[in-house]
């Protein structure tokens, strides 16, 4: 045989053996359900071939207060029994069984009882009608607005299935920077088409709305929430929506924030605005999720503003309004303390908003497993009603009894074949859903099941890769902004470092605003003698945060401005500690490359190479971060690099010239 043909055949054979996998299947087995199936039929299809299952659905099928989404899995007369109060509960039970089958097997005598901690478990898409995605790093928007409602992409049902499999039960389709067009009749018919696909999977649709819609879309001369005509316009709009989508979930609103319109444009409060919309939705059972992400350039400290703006409104919101609060007081940074609004507004339901898309944690270029970040926030003790008043307890209904309880994550999903750009970013979608269902799950446990279902059940693969995942967020913190530093990103894209950035259009968009480095030291003084932000926390946290010797070191420069030669617990100076943390982050990123190479024979070629290439970039960019930050801070500290730190490989001037073109990400 001709040599060339033999070689080609061998190559083809090798390719077959090396099993290509583009990651499009996520953590799920092959789909046996079909378009048009109802919820219970989907549940049956999902367990086909896994076990002999009987479904029992009845109002009283579960003991206690399990709610419509709860389920139990037991065995009777040799058959697995999934009991639930509703078909959606049964579907969740089916996915639980599927998960067991893929991650170690179904126990002989299962005795599983589950019900979610949060009633509403939502994704927020920051997708625009033109197909771009704000802070999206996985290609264009999934929603094909031009083709809807006539053509339904097969990915819509796959998306619904993936979400249902991890317990997500709602999706906000469009960007919180909302265009009024979303509420036009033609777009509403597209929204209806999506809602129809998602419904059998237990997923409700919500929309972000622009507060000025009555003017911009309705032709009214005001959007004042206290104007009767405005209220009537919204009520009619709500009626129109519910005629098309009878189980529509409600609205998300970003008002008077970053240039968005809002009630303050008319001298009204956030409560006036939220309540007016809430009254339009209330007859239909809809809710308003009103975002607390507000800040204006004139304040002395951006971290105080959401609190200052909303704390006085506690108790003034209607019953179907939930305040949607970002996990930290600034903006989804690699590390922030929890937002002090949690626990502080007893008479208002609050929900946490996390960011799954990695705007500030390396986009979809870098591996950063976010379950440690999410759990760190949820398990933070607010001390609102003494010890044990965690952020989770303050938001899941247990501490203050609010209902419904809710949690949201800004989605990292796009049209990329693997949905999330980086294969490991799928784990962040996954862990958000799992934690929204049960915030007591561990980062380790969730990584374990995700790895086994997604890649391989081989312990030789799972153990090292899981360790890499578990340390990845801390590595990112270390090489980007350790010891409580924050928001020292390059202008605009938020991928690389730009600690020297000072000429922003607003001071609170510059980096120097946040790190305040100078010859006297570094850090933001938020103590009682500084901006006073520590006073927003309950005792004993306010005293702990106020005192640099008590403040957790990982938040030190968030709360304190300290001299470069200030000594930390290990006896070394602040400067040396800073240098060594950056160095540790770089080393961790390099270690990830070694870990990944060590499991090469346990992963399909396609995903192996893809992740390998990203890890290389991550290690390189970690060095960029370290050198940029330390060389720049050294111009202020004037101190030498400590012995344990590798010397910079770049020049500061060279790094200052870098201009990333990240447009292709949007």
Min CB(309)–ligand GCW separation in Å:
15
Active-site position among 224, 331, 396, 621: 331
- Rounded distance, CA 419 to CA 138, Å? 6
The residues, ordered by sequence, that sit 6+ positions from 172 with a Cβ below 8 Å of its Cβ are: 122, 123, 124, 125, 206, 207, 208, 252, 289, 408
**Strand order across the 53-57 sheet:** 53-57, 79-84, 71-76, 112-114
**Residue whose CB is less far from ligand GCW, 192 or 291:** 291
Q: Which is nearer to ligand GCW, 38 or 507 (CB)?
A: 507
The single residue of 21, 114, 119, 359 carrying the catalytic annotation is 359
Q: How far apart are CA 234 and CA 120, in angstroms?
A: 23
Closest CA to 552 of 569, 574, 531: 569
Taking Cα atoms as reference points, which of 126, 624, 170 lies closest to residue 407?
170
Shortest CB 507 distance to ligand GCW, Å: 16
Closest CA to 289 of 118, 69, 115, 122: 122
Taking the complex as a whole, how short is the minimal distance between the CB of residue 585 and ligand GCW, in angstroms? 22
Alpha-carbon distance 276 to 293, whole Å?
19
Q: How far is CA 72 from CA 81, 92, 112, 163, 164, in A?
A: 8, 10, 5, 20, 17
79 closest CA partner among 100, 112, 52, 46: 52
Shortest Cβ distance from residue 332 to ligand GCW (Å)?
5
In the chain, what is the straight-line distance between the N-terminal and C-terminal CA atoms, in Å? 50
- In the complex, the residues that contact ligand GCW under the rule CB under 6 A are 126, 134-135, 176-177, 254, 258, 293, 331-332, 359
Q: Closest CB to ligand GCW among 134 and 587?
A: 134
Using CB atoms within 10 Å of the CB of residue 181, give its burial: 0 to 12 exposed, 13 to 18 middle, 19+ buried: middle
Closest distance of CB 247 from ligand GCW, Å: 26
Give the nearest distance from C-beta 473 to ligand GCW in angstroms. 18
Structural tokens at position 212: 């000025």
Tokens of 361: 């944690």
> Considering beta carbons, is residue 254 or 581 the nearer one to ligand GCW?
254
Structure tokens at 539: 């005792």
Give CA–CA dist 265/385, Å, rounded.
36
In the bound state with ligand GCW, the residue whose beta carbon lies nearer, of 359 and 508, is 359
The values of phi and psi at residue 612, to 5°, are -60, -40
- Shortest reach from residue 127's CB to ligand GCW, in Å: 11
* Cα dihedral 56→60→63→65 (10° resolution): 120
Bridge partner residues of 386 (DSSP): 384
* 105 Ramachandran zone, left/alpha/beta (phi>0; psi -120 to 50): left
> Which residue's CB is nearer to ligand GCW, number 168 or number 292?
292
Nearer to ligand GCW, 293 or 596 (CB): 293
Q: Which is nearer to ligand GCW, 466 or 494 (CB)?
A: 494
Which residue is at the shortest CB distance from ligand GCW? 331
> 91 or 368: whose CB is closer to ligand GCW?
368
Query: Does residue 331 have an active-site annotation?
Result: yes
Instruction: For strands 250-253 and 287-291, give the pairing.
Output: parallel
> Least separation, in Å, of the C-beta of 638 and ligand GCW?
34
Tokens at residue 192, please? 């209806």
Our CA dihedral for 412, 250, 120, 30, rounded to 10 degrees, sits at -50
Tell me whether residue 132 is exposed, middle or buried, using C-beta atoms within 10 angstroms of its C-beta: 0 to 12, 13 to 18, 19 or more: middle
Closest to ligand GCW by CB, 23 or 139: 139
Contact status, residue 262 vs residue 274, Cβ threshold 8 Å: no
Smallest distance from ligand GCW to CB 567, Å = 35
CB of 491 to ligand GCW, least distance (A): 11
- For the four alpha carbons of 537, 541, 542 and 547, in that order, the dihedral sign comes to negative
Axis crossing angle, helix 270-281 with helix 228-244, rounded to the nearest 10:
40
> Rounded CA gap, 286 and 283, in Å?
8
Q: Please give the backbone phi and psi of residue 154, each rounded to the nearest 5 degrees, phi first.
A: -60, -15
3-state SS, one letter per residue, for 26-57: CCCCCCCCCCCCCHHHHHHHHHCCCCCEEEEE
Separation between Cα atoms, residue 556 and residue 550, nearest integer Å = 9
Q: Which is nearer to ligand GCW, 44 or 254 (CB)?
A: 254
Question: Which residues are 122's β-sheet partners?
Answer: 170, 408
From the candidates 48, 146, 258, 543, give the one annotated as an active-site residue.
258
Taking the C-alpha atoms of residue 44 and residue 34, their distance in angstroms, rounded to an integer, is 12
- Which residue, 248 or 489, is less far from ligand GCW as judged by CB? 489
CB of 289 to ligand GCW, least distance (A): 13
Catalytic center residues: 258, 331, 359
């Amino acid at each position: 045989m001709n040599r060339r043909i033999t070689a080609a055949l061998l190559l083809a054979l090798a390719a077959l053996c090396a099993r290509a996998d583009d990651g499009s299947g996520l953590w799920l087995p092959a789909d046996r359900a079909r378009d048009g199936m109802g919820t219970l039929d989907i549940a049956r299809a999902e367990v086909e071939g896994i076990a002999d299952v009987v479904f029992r659905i009845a109002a009283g099928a579960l003991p206690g207060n399990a709610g419509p989404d709860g389920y139990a899995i037991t065995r009777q007369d040799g058959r697995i029994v999934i009991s639930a109060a509703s078909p959606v509960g049964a579907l969740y039970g089916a996915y639980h069984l599927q998960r067991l089958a893929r991650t170690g097997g179904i126990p002989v005598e299962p005795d599983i009882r589950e019900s979610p901690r949060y009633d509403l478990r939502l994704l927020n898409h920051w997708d625009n009608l033109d197909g771009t995605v704000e802070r999206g790093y996985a290609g264009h928007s999934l929603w094909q607005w031009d083709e809807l409602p006539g053509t339904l992409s097969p990915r819509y049902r796959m998306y619904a299935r993936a979400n249902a499999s991890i317990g997500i039960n709602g999706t906000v389709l469009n960007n919180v920077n909302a265009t009024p067009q979303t509420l036009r009749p033609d777009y509403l018919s597209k929204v209806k088409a999506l809602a129809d696909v998602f419904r059998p999977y237990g997923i409700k649709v919500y929309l972000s709305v622009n507060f000025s819609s009555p003017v911009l879309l309705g032709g009214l001369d005001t959007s004042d929430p206290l104007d009767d005509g405005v209220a009537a316009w919204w009520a009619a709009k709500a009626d129109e929506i519910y005629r098309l989508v009878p189980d529509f979930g409600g609205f998300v609103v970003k008002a008077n924030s970053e240039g968005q319109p809002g009630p303050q444009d008319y001298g009204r409060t956030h409560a006036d605005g939220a309540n007016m919309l809430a009254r339009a939705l209330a007859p239909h059972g809809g809710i308003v999720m009103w975002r607390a992400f507000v800040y204006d350039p004139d304040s002395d400290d951006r971290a105080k503003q959401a609190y200052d703006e909303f704390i006085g409104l506690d108790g003034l919101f209607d019953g179907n309004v939930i305040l949607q609060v970002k996990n930290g007081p600034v903006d989804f940074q690699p590390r922030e303390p929890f937002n002090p609004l949690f626990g502080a507004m007893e008479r208002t339901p609050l929900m946490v908003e996390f960011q799954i898309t990695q705007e500030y944690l390396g986009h979809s270029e870098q591996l950063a497993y976010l379950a440690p970040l999410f759990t760190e926030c949820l398990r933070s003790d607010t001390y609102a009603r003494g010890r044990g008043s965690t952020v989770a307890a303050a938001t899941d209904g247990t501490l203050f009894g609010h209902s419904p309880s809710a949690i949201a994550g800004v989605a990292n999903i796009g049209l990329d074949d693997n949905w999330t750009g980086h294969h490991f970013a799928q784990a962040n979608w996954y862990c958000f859903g799992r934690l929204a269902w049960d915030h007591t799950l561990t980062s380790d446990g969730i990584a374990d099941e995700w790895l086994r279902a997604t890649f391989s059940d081989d312990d030789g693969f799972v153990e090292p890769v899981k360790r890499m995942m578990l340390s990845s967020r801390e590595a990112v913190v270390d090489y980007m902004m350790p010891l409580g530093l924050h928001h020292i990103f390059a202008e605009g894209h938020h991928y690389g470092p730009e600690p020297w950035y000072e000429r922003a259009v607003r001071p609170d968009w510059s980096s120097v605003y946040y790190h305040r480095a100078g010859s006297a030291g570094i850090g933001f003084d938020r103590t009682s003698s500084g901006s006073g932000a520590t006073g927003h926390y309950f005792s004993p946290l306010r005293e702990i945060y106020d005192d640099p010797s008590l403040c957790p070191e990982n938040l030190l420069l968030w709360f304190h401005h300290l001299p470069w030669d200030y000594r930390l617990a290990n006896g070394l100076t602040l400067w040396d500690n800073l240098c060594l943390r950056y160095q540790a982050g770089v080393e961790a990123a390099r270690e990830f490359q070694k870990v990944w190479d060590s499991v090469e024979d346990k992963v399909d070629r396609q995903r192996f190479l893809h992740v390998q290439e990203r890890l290389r970039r991550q290690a390189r960019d970690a060095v960029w971060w370290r050198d940029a930050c330390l060389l720049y801070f050294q111009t202020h500290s004037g101190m030498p690099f400590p012995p344990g730190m590798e010397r910079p490989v770049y020049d500061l001037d060279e790094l200052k010239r870098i201009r990333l073109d990240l447009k292709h990400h949007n």
